[in-house]
Amino acid sequence: MDLPRKQRTLWDGSYASNPEFFGSEPSDLAKSSISIFKQRGLKTVLELGCGQGRDTWHMVDAGLKVTALDYSETGICQMKKRAEDLGLDCRLEVHDALQALPFPDNHFDAVYSHMFFTMRFDMDQLQFMFKECLRVLRPGGIHVYSVRNYNDMHYGKFEPRGEDTWENPLGFVVHFFSEEKIRSLADGYDIVNIKEFIEGAPPFNKTLYEVVLAKP
């Protein structure tokens, strides 16, 4: 089985075996992002790599209009059932972000993702996705994301899978980022903020950058 297919199968299996794989509480990034969105009067949000929706539902509860994408059909099916059961208003779609985003130019107020770009992507793939995010953002829109960085406890460990990328014992491939790499991916954006934070999420703490970009 090739690596991309193996990763998708791993995520599907993880979600199928645990309906709250990342827990039920929203991430700190989601909480801080909602504050940013509200301060700037932003309403429509595109979330990439939504997983099982722990951040999605928090944003919906905050009154944001969310479109959430993930390439795991299992995760999206779980979310659709929850949305139907609870009457939650959210657009949910299975989509591989290595393909062009299925939205017109200047469509969203904000793009959001938590640890999505820290997956198995190489630099060419990352550059493509960042350009797509820029395309669908309206002028003045905000792109907020998080990635694991060089200070993370697992940086440089386990099985190498490419530049700054390793496969951990659970089988997940993780790409780690320097601040220089983050700046190189911000072509076309204004950099609002880059700051480090630690997320105490199971099964271990992760050291990440919170990145806030703006479309001029």
What the block records as the tokens of 86 is 């609870």
pLDDT surpassing 60 at residue 1: no
Q: What are the residue ranges of helices labelled H in 46-199?
A: 54-61, 73-86, 123-136, 179-184
What pLDDT sits at residue 210? Answer: 98
User: Phi first, then psi: what are they for 92, rounded to 5°?
Assistant: -125, 130
Reported CATH class of domain 3-214: alpha beta
> What is the Cβ-side half-sphere exposure of residue 82, based on CA atoms within 13 angstroms?
18
The mean pLDDT of the chain is: 92
Helix (H) and strand (E) counts for the chain? Answer: 6, 10
SS3 content of the chain, % helix, strand, coil (to 5): 30, 30, 35
CA dist 209 and 191 (Å) reads: 13
Digit-coded pLDDT (tens) for 127-141 = 999 999 999 999 999
* pLDDT band at residue 187 using 50, 70 and 90 as cut-offs: very high
Digit-coded pLDDT (tens) for 64-96 = 999 999 988 888 988 899 889 888 999 999 999
CA dist 187 and 199 (Å) reads: 27
